[in-house]
Amino acid sequence: MMNPRSVLRGAAVLLLVFLFVSEGCAQGGVVKEKLKFESTILHHDVRYSVYLPPDYETSNRWYPVVYLLHGFTGCEIDWVQYGEVDRLTNDAVLQGIIPPMVIVMPDADSSWYINDAAGEQRYEDMMVKEFIPTVEKLYRVRASKEFRAIAGLSMGGFGTLMLAMRHPDLFSAAAGLSAAVVTDDELLERMKNDRWGYIGLFGKPVENQLPDWWKQYSVLNLASTIETRELTSVRWWLDCGDDDHLVRGNAMLNLILLDRKIPHEYRVRDGGHSWEYWRTGIIPALEFIGKGFTR
């Protein structure tokens, strides 16, 4: 007959092991904020935040990376502060919905992620020529298109689609949430009061003619003119609420891609231009991106 004390001691040991393992499995990733690097292109420091997956500090593996872009007037902490991307991603990784990945969130001010017409704010060049190479030196991320993706909301959704279309060699997937895709007519109307800063970036219209600089960055124009083989080399995800003021531009982009037979996923859900919408949309977008990482 077994000694009752031995049984109790054994049960206690098993309980401690169970609690230790459970606690370890439940640990989430780490968000590092207030980071910065010196940009020679912009002539000032660029702030950024990084989400590292749960096993980053304890493993030697190299991870896929997603560049996650903020919206107009936002900054590098928005996706953590308001989007809760760290908590949501932790849960999705631990549940096996998405693979472990590094998520990098740069601050782009209200630049729309472009090189402005005057050549004074070259945020596109900063992202492509400085920021991505810097991240790949500092963190254990796989430095190839196959394991690099981009996503963002609103202005960041515009930046996501624009950068992936202009640099299809860099990104395997692009996910635009409520992307600020606007038609030429909509842009002309917006330039009348220009609270979005378009004139300072693209130039001023002349006799209702948009500046040529806009054509280089218009997502609808890019989707219509870039070679099919380049567009099909990127996996596309579009998600815009039915009450969003940007739904028209996203619907037109969907039609262009359909007409050109460019594979993509297009989602219209109930909701508007809000963090509630983006919080519920980020994991499906990362799941779509993650399927390309794991295949």
User: Cβ(63)–Cβ(45) under 8 Å?
Assistant: no
> What is the domain partition of the chain in residue ranges?
28-185+219-294
User: Cβ(103)–Cβ(88) under 8 Å?
Assistant: no
The pTM of this model reads 0.90
Return the minimum-mean-pLDDT range out of 8-22, 44-58, 135-149, 255-269.
8-22
Distance CA 200, CA 116 (A): 8
Distance CA 268, CA 250 (A): 9
Task: Give the residue-averaged pLDDT of 170-184.
Answer: 97
- pLDDT mean across residues, the chain: 91
Return the minimum-mean-pLDDT range out of 105-109, 186-190, 223-227, 242-246.
186-190
Task: Give the residue-averaged pLDDT of 236-265.
Answer: 98
Closest CA to 135 of 150, 152, 121: 150
Task: Give the residue-averaged pLDDT of 4-8.
Answer: 44
Distance CA 167, CA 113 (A): 13
- For residue 51, give the amino acid letter: Y
**Res 29 pLDDT > 70:** yes
The conformational region for residue 70 under phi > 0 = left, psi -120 to 50 = alpha, else beta, is beta
Q: Would you call 118 exposed, middle or buried from its count of C-beta atoms within 10 A (0-12, 13-18, 19+)? A: exposed
- Does domain 28-185+219-294 fall under CATH 3.40.50.1820? My reply is yes
**Res 116 pLDDT > 80:** yes
Residue-wise pLDDT for 51-69, tens only, equals: 999 999 999 999 999 999 9
Give the pLDDT of residue 194. Answer: 82
Residue 3 banded pLDDT, cuts 50, 70, 90: low
- For residue 140, give the amino acid letter: R
Distance CA 84, CA 282 (A): 10
Residue 27 banded pLDDT, cuts 50, 70, 90: low
Residue 229 banded pLDDT, cuts 50, 70, 90: very high
Give the pLDDT of residue 22. Answer: 36
Closest CA to 158 of 244, 56, 96, 246: 246
pLDDT > 70 in the chain, percent: 91
The more confidently predicted of residues 192 and 169 is 169
